[in-house]
């Protein structure tokens, strides 16, 4: 239980072989010259450090689209977008500054007010500027989201509407992240979260930093901690609109196989059904989209995540993208082996017979011109199906081994 003004935390230790404990040293940000810029960069490069999924899954995964974003109210330290079209604003604060303690909540709310005045086009411009600065490429919103999730053309109008609506109504997740949270700030947040006319959610996250030396290597452990109250707060949005918000369900599997049969032939439709059966036998899960299905592997560590392997669409193509498995594995395990597993999967996938007209035929459907867009026709996959099965099975086995570490 956390009680305001009298919070206590246990001290973490590492248990090495032989049950010998290793005590970790708590590092306060001011001890080693850490500043807010260091904290901003840490969050931008490792957005999954923030426990957003424990607050609301609709805001995950966090896709970075801004650092020190300029507004009339000042610069937003970190800005993120989820594939569902929901924005997260992060204000980093080191609590050695008394002024910061007094103004931080009002400051982040002012940022939210400014962002709520943005148009979809303004956000699109921000995303392109961010990608140009930190990646050297000119991706907009959809190309950026596709590096993490499967987004079809049919989904785009829904996401545009969601983003536009969220901007207009200020439906954001606001996070204050720092090295310690003070009681007066908690009281302000508690009050704001009981205010029904506000559409944003405001949370406080404390980062505890520890250092330890293992085998002559100095390691840093960062523990995020959501500051919560001892009582539950229920918020209500008191607004009635004449138009209800509805989601468009994906087509049934009969619709998909019927469309695939017309496009690629009856034999391809049968083969696409066989892929589903075989992948499910390997422990995968099939997720249906508007005009495709996605083969995913459930996180064996029990976190509930689904790791994207490849997509089969109604045009008769099987494809994957370089960013999907790599980013998802890194988010879950954050181990060096994750990149090796993802690269090996892509390498084996690329060895399947490729159609040179793949990208040209489907320009605009996926990521135009992206070297990471690997596509194979169902006919070609059928010819080397054993190779695909072997690739998926070996990838799954390695992920399971990773989860056991």
CA–chain centroid gap for 199, Å, is 22
Give the mean model confidence (pLDDT) for residues 129-137: 91
Give the mean model confidence (pLDDT) for residues 320-330: 82
Residue 400 predicted with pLDDT over 90: yes
200: exposed, middle or buried (C-beta count within 10 Å: 0-12, 13-18, 19+)? Answer: buried
Query: If pLDDT is split at 50, 70 and 90, which confidence band does 141 have?
Result: very high
Query: If pLDDT is split at 50, 70 and 90, which confidence band does 95 have?
Result: low
Mean pLDDT lowest among 103-112, 248-257, 260-269: 248-257
> Which residue carries 């159609």 as its tokens?
355
Mean pLDDT lowest among 88-97, 135-144, 160-169, 354-363: 354-363
Residue-wise pLDDT for 363-380, tens only, equals 333 333 333 467 888 998
Q: Where are the beta strands (DSSP E) in 243-356?
A: 285-288, 292-298, 306-313, 317-321
Interacting residues of 20 by C-beta distance below 8 A, sequence separation 6+ = none
Domains in the chain: boundaries: 13-227, 253-403
Most confident of 121-135, 288-302, 373-387: 121-135
Predicted pLDDT at 356: 44
Look at strands 292-298 and 306-313 and give their pairing. Answer: antiparallel
Sheet with 285-288: list strands edge to edge.
285-288, 292-298, 306-313, 317-321, 373-377
Mean pLDDT score of the chain: 79
Contact 359, 301 (CB under 8 A): no
Residues composing the chain: 405
Structure tokens at 276: 């589903």
Mean pLDDT lowest among 33-37, 259-263, 334-338: 33-37
Spatial separation of the C-alpha atoms in residues 403 and 405, rounded to whole Å: 6
Closest CA to 29 of 308, 313, 222: 222
pTM greater than the 0.75 cutoff: no
């Amino acid at each position: 239980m956390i009680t305001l003004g009298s919070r206590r935390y246990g001290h973490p230790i590492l248990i090495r072989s032989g049950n010998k404990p290793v005590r970790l040293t708590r590092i306060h940000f001011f001890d080693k010259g850490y500043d807010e810029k260091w904290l901003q960069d840490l969050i931008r490069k490792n957005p999954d450090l923030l426990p957003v999924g424990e607050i609301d899954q609709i805001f995950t995964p966090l896709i970075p689209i801004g650092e020190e974003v300029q507004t009339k109210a000042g610069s937003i330290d970190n800005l993120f977008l989820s594939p569902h079209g929901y924005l997260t604003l992060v204000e980093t604060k080191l609590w050695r500054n008394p002024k910061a303690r007094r103004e931080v909540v009002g400051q982040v709310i002012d940022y939210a007010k400014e962002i709520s005045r943005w148009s979809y086009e303004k956000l699109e411009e921000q995303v392109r500027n961010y990608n140009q600065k930190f990646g050297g490429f000119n991706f907009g919103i959809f190309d950026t989201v596709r590096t993490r999730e499967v987004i079809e053309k049919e989904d785009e109008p829904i996401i545009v509407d969601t983003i536009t609506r969220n901007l207009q109504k200020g439906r954001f997740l606001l996070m204050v992240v720092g090295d310690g949270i003070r009681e007066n700030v908690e009281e302000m947040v508690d009050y704001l979260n009981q205010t029904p006319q506000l559409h944003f959610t405001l949370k406080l996250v404390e980062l505890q930093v520890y250092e330890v030396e293992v085998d002559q290597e100095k390691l840093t452990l960062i523990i995020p901690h959501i500051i919560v109250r001892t009582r539950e707060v229920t918020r209500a949005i008191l607004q009635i609109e004449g138009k209800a918000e509805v989601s468009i369900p994906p087509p049934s599997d009969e619709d998909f196989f019927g469309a695939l049969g017309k496009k690629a032939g009856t034999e391809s439709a049968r083969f696409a059904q066989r892929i589903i059966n075989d992948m499910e036998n390997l422990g995968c899960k099939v997720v249906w989209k508007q005009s495709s299905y996605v083969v995913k592997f459930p996180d064996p560590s029990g976190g509930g995540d689904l790791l994207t392997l490849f997509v089969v669409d109604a045009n008769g193509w099987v494809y994957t993208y370089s960013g999907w498995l790599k980013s998802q594995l890194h988010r879950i395990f954050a181990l060096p082996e994750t990149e090796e597993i993802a690269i090996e999967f892509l390498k084996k996938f690329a060895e399947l017979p490729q159609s040179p007209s793949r990208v040209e035929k489907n320009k605009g459907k996926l990521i135009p011109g992206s070297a990471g867009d690997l596509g194979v026709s169902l006919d070609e996959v059928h010819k080397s199906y054993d190779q695909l099965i072997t690739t998926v099975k070996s990838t799954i086995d390695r992920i399971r081994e990773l989860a056991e570490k």
